[in-house]
Structure 1
């Protein structure tokens, strides 16, 4: 099984970067093959251009995103690591979905209903959020999770999706962060 990590955080001193390091450490220890797409390090261009020269139906032929589609095709499992900002994924990751998970590659329209084309893949979504869990469950209805899980990954055919959400990050202690990182490391070893 090959694993593709898609990482979206610009700060190398962040908790998200420590999560990435622990995921990679766990995968290496388990002798798992993986590849990393660090969207900020690669300076991925998230801007989707649709105009007379750039039509939605042609996105599957975009040479800029071809290498990303190939990496996703070759992977059995996708791991997404990112923070929640304004109750959504960072713009660079949203742009990655917009430009890479395109019609003809990630899904296709058949009749009235779309059909996901990434059916043989699984996903592990790891994200951080400053809000407390109770607030998210009561007032935000896990919108940050529902969008990624249901409206992107499941829409594209990925059904086996697990989530690790780290909440109330802004008010977390060093000790709680170390526990989170150890948990992530252990989960990565048995993925």
Structure 2
């Protein structure tokens, strides 16, 4: 299995970065994981701003040469792992800008004249690892699970990815947040993952 990790947090001393380290540590010990690539969007200097003008048109995004390497990474990966905080009930704008530009028509899906398009990223799977300051049940009880609906239904299902696993950790700024237990849970998951 080839795995692409997309890390989205500006601070390498954050809990999100600690989760990234546990993903990598577990993956290194897993013989089933053949190769791992990490895309750190902030370190990469990824520009999340959409630009459409006389030279850049939305319908041509899927061939934009500026994104060729990122498209190759997504096509290469069997499993895509997203590591990010939840801010204001959703992923950071940096990650959403990446999604806006990478999951474009012609690359991630194509219109086929039906209610739903044909997803072009079938066969891949996704793991979302997110953390938040608020309690774990806040997104479900107060936001109608908006974060998971956005990622699973509005994005990944749309592009043909059916297998999406979530680790959504709450109360991460609390001394009682059980951070070490949650980090160990991520390590164990990736060290034993077999598909």
Q: What TM bracket, shorter-length normalisation?
A: over 0.9
Matches within 5 A, 1:30-69: 30-31=30-31, 32=33, 33-69=35-71
Matches within 5 A, 1:103-118: 103-112=105-114, 113-118=116-121
Given that residues 136 and 168 in structure 2 are in contact (C-alpha distance below 8 angstroms), is that contact kept between their aligned partners in structure 1? no
| Alignment-derived partner of residue 156 in structure 1 | 159
Note if 1:132 corresponds to 2:132. no
Aligned equivalents of 1:28, 1:145: Cα separation in 2: 28
Aligned equivalents of 1:100, 1:134: Cα separation in 2: 30
Aligned equivalents of 1:190, 1:121: Cα separation in 2: 18
Matches within 5 A, 1:68-107: 68-107=70-109
1:22-74 C-alpha deviation (Å, 9 max, x unpaired): 00000001142110000011010111112232111110111111100001101
1:132 CA displacement = 1.1
1:94 CA displacement = 0.5
**Counterpart pick for 1:123 among 122, 126, 145:** 126
1:86 CA displacement = 1.1
The number of equivalent residue pairs is: 190
Aligned equivalents of 1:185, 1:63: Cα separation in 2: 36
5+ unaligned residues in a row in structure 2: which ranges?
none
| Alignment-derived partner of residue 2 in structure 1 | 2
1:114 CA displacement = 1.2
5+ unaligned residues in a row in structure 1: which ranges?
none
Cα RMSD, aligned residues only: 1.2
Per the normalisation by structure 2, the TM-score is 0.93
Moved >6 Å (runs of 4+): none
1:76-126 C-alpha deviation (Å, 9 max, x unpaired): 110000001111111110010011111111011110331111011001111
| Alignment-derived partner of residue 20 in structure 1 | 20
Per the normalisation by structure 1, the TM-score is 0.95
1:75 CA displacement = 0.7
